[in-house]
Chain A
Amino acid sequence: MSQATGARFEFHNLTKVFGGLVAVNDVTVEAVAGGITGIIGSNGAGKSTVFNLISGFYKPDAGQVLLEGQDLTGRQPHEIAAAGVGRTFQNIRLFQGMSVLDNVRTALHRSLDYNVFHALLRLPKIRSEEKRAEEAALEALELVGMLEAKELTGSSLPYGLQRRLEIARALAMKPKILLLDEPAAGLNPGEVADLVNLIRSINAKLGLTILVIEHHMDLVASLCQKVFAMNFGQVIAGGTLAEVQNDPAVLEAYLGKGASHA
């Protein structure tokens, strides 16, 4: 898998208002090119909304999303995905009933060089293209260590494997950046450790820029070079994890007033 290594990704002054409630307020984040960047914060801090704004599921009211300098602001989700933004969902969204292999193969549709007429007439070209798709899908499955499970139904797998499959599906698109929405949610400690290794190895092998939202501090601590903390829709601190953890604003937000002079 050859990826454009270390895509630059940033968004500036993102703002989203839901019926008078400011869910995301003037958020600016610059991801570490080729590295792993974390966004932390409590529930309702606006982290998931940020992801939905970046990937086009919500339209931002203000701000700008830039991938390698290319403006993605306000585009349709499928256009943003096509531009190179891969993502997973907090509550795993696999294609129910599809096999593991087909879940990944579906994500390869853009790299398959044939059109509707080829498909309807099932021209010989299809066979070779589909063969290529299968190989690419297997490659993505190998990357997450799920080759043996390829024939199984995706949604019947244990949670940890479903999460991996979702990552494999996103990787099959050959994205420039990968957004992971609470990847450790619902996993047991063993599965979290596996996941940390997986994300690190993907980052190392592909040099892929990764942005991760997480509650799980162990995961953030062992993966992220740079961390942004959010509270009430705003970024309150940014830097290394140690810097962020000692930031007065963060301490106040997490431990409440008075924590700093206790």
Chain B
Amino acid sequence: MSDYYTGLLVFTCVNIIVTAGLYLLIGGTGLVSFGQAGFLAIGAYTSGLLTTRLNWPFPLGLTGAIVFSMLVGVAIGYPTLKLRREYFALATMGVGEAIRALISALPNFTGGSVGLPGIPQKTTAWVVLLLTVVSIVLVRNYLKSKFGRNALAIKTDELAAKAIAVNVFAQKQIIFAITCGLSGLAGALLAHYITYIDPSMFDWNRSAELVTIVFVGGLGSLTGGVTAAIGVALLPEVLRFANEARFLVYSLVVLLVIIYRPGGLFGNYELSWQSLARIWRKLTGGARKEGAA
């Protein structure tokens, strides 16, 4: 695989992993985090520092990135998950910026705004593909369990959820920890591909982009989220001919989807063997009818 395509694959997969986690949060609890780029930064810097400064091997670096991102997620979630949705949105936005500011403010430790170079390049196409599939499967499994039902209950009616003994706060904590863990993983994979990171890569625009992916895919469909993540990663490449206008076109498309298709492109459709079989039957059934006519 050429470098160009490997790069495209890694960036796409990084988007998918973050999206899977963010989908769990937004689609599961109705809370929107506007600071997820900060958690990508935490993952990227944790693994980057562990592997360069302490010479930890790559798998341990990744693990460290996931664990530390989750811990920060729990710490941030504790004061903020009890608040109204608007407050959570603004608080996470602040947290994202605070993380970036903190990284810039510690030049001796993180390299500051100049960045952290020399991170070992370990993220191969196979590693990133494998971890992407694992991430999607984990989120899907969570949603298919009693925890997924609890999450959906919280999203649709928090009071009714409490009335059937769902500990809403604890469920949100678990979900936010998973969301942050996946963002951390994605950040670390990114760092170990591009080998150089600096705080400007994890700014508020990045957080915003990640949120739009989930909404374009639809709050009711993980399949939609994953597809949108792929689309968003590839669209700028497809629109390359349009030069500066491509981000304009992209944001216009996203805006139209959010305004006129609030269910997202996929609504509640979920890819599964059954749904594939159904489509297949429809297609073949249709063909047979055509043949008969």
Taken together as a complex, chains A and B put the C-alpha atoms of A102 and B146 apart, in Å, by: 10
Residues of A within 8 A of B157 (CB): 93-96
Q: A89-B163, A106-B164 are in contact. Are A98 and B146 (CB under 8 A)?
A: no
Q: How large is the interface on A (under 10, 10 to 19, 20 to 34, 35 or more residues)?
A: 35 or more
Q: How far is the CB of B2 from chain A (nearest CB, A)?
A: 35
| Residues B174 and A116 in contact, CB atoms below 8 Å apart | yes
Contacts of B162 in A (CB 8 A): 56-57, 76-78, 81
Interface residues of B in 154-213 (CB under 8 A from A): 156-157, 159-168, 174
The minimal Cβ–Cβ distance linking A43 to chain B, given in whole angstroms, is: 21
In the bound complex, CA of A87 to CA of B163 (Å): 7
- Asked if A21 is at the interface (CB within 8 A of a chain B CB), the reply is no
Q: Are A96 and B142 in contact (CB under 8 A)?
A: no
B56 at interface, CB cutoff 8 A: no
Query: In the complex, what residues of A have CB within 8 A of residue B164's CB?
Result: 81, 86, 106-107, 109, 169-170, 172-173
The closest CB in chain A to the CB of B177 belongs to: A116
- Selecting from A10-18, A120-128, A218-226, A243-251, the interface stretch reads A120-128
State whether B145 touches A102 (Cβ < 8 A). Answer: no
Q: Contacts A93-B160, A95-B152, A121-B141; is A78 near B146 (CB within 8 Å)?
A: no
Known contacts A109-B150, A120-B138; A126 and B145 CB within 8 A of each other: yes
Considering the complex, which residues of chain B in the window 227-241 have a beta carbon less than 8 Å from any beta carbon of chain A? none
| Distance in Å: Cβ of B158 to nearest Cβ of chain A | 10
Q: Is A97 an interface residue (CB 8 A)?
A: yes
Do residues B145 and A95 form an inter-chain contact, with CB atoms below 8 A? no
Residues of A within 8 A of B261 (CB): none
- Residues on the A chain within 8 Å of B220, using CB: 97
Interface of B is mostly: helix
Closest to B140 in A: A122
In the complex, A105→B138 CA distance in Å? Answer: 21
| Known A-B contacts A77-B162, A78-B165, A78-B168; A106 and B150 likewise in contact (beta carbons under 8 Å) | yes
Question: Is A119 interfacial (CB-CB < 8 Å)?
Answer: yes
With an 8 A cutoff between CB atoms, is A108 at the interface?
yes
Shortest distance between the CB of B82 and any CB in chain A (Å): 11
Question: Does residue A22 face the partner (Cβ distance < 8 Å to B)?
Answer: no
Task: Say yes or no for A131: interface residue by CB 8 A criterion.
Answer: no
Verify A78–B150 contact, CB threshold 8 A. no
Are the CB atoms of B149 and A106 closer together than 8 Å?
Answer: yes
> Which A residues touch B144, using CB under 8 A?
122
Alpha-carbon gap, A73 to B259, bound state (A): 46
Given contacts A78-B168, A107-B164, contact A95 B146 (CB under 8 A): no
Q: Is the pair A57, B146 in contact by a Cβ cutoff of 8 Å?
A: no
CB-contacts of B37-66 with A (<8 A): none
Q: Which of B138, B141, B150, B163 has most chain A Cβ within 10 Å?
A: B163
Give CA–CA (A112, B166) in the complex, Å.
13
- CA of A130 to CA of B147, assembled, Å: 12
Asked if A82 CB lies within 8 Å of chain B CBs, one says: yes
B216 within 8 A of A: no
Contact bitstring A171-199, B, C-beta under 8 A = 1, else 0:
01100000000000000000000000000
Report yes or no: A102 in contact with B149, Cβ–Cβ below 8 A: yes
| Cα A78 to Cα B144 with chains together (Å) | 22
Residues of B contacting A106 with CB < 8 Å? 146, 149-150, 152-153, 161, 164, 166
Q: Is A31 interfacial (CB 8 A cutoff)? A: no
Known: A106-B150, A106-B153. A120 touches B142 (CB 8 A): yes
Chain B nearest CB, measured from A44 CB (Å): 21
Q: What would 7 more interface pairs be, CB under 8 Å, given A78-B166, A93-B157, A106-B150?
A: A56-B162, A78-B167, A95-B156, A105-B149, A107-B164, A109-B150, A119-B146
Q: Which 7 A-B pairs have the closest CB atoms?
A: A119-B145, A81-B165, A77-B162, A93-B160, A107-B164, A82-B165, A122-B141
A-B contact pairs, 6 of them (CB 8 A): A57-B159, A86-B163, A109-B149, A114-B145, A119-B141, A170-B164
| Interface residues of B, Cβ cutoff 8 Å to A | 138, 141-142, 144-150, 152-153, 156-157, 159-168, 174, 220, 268
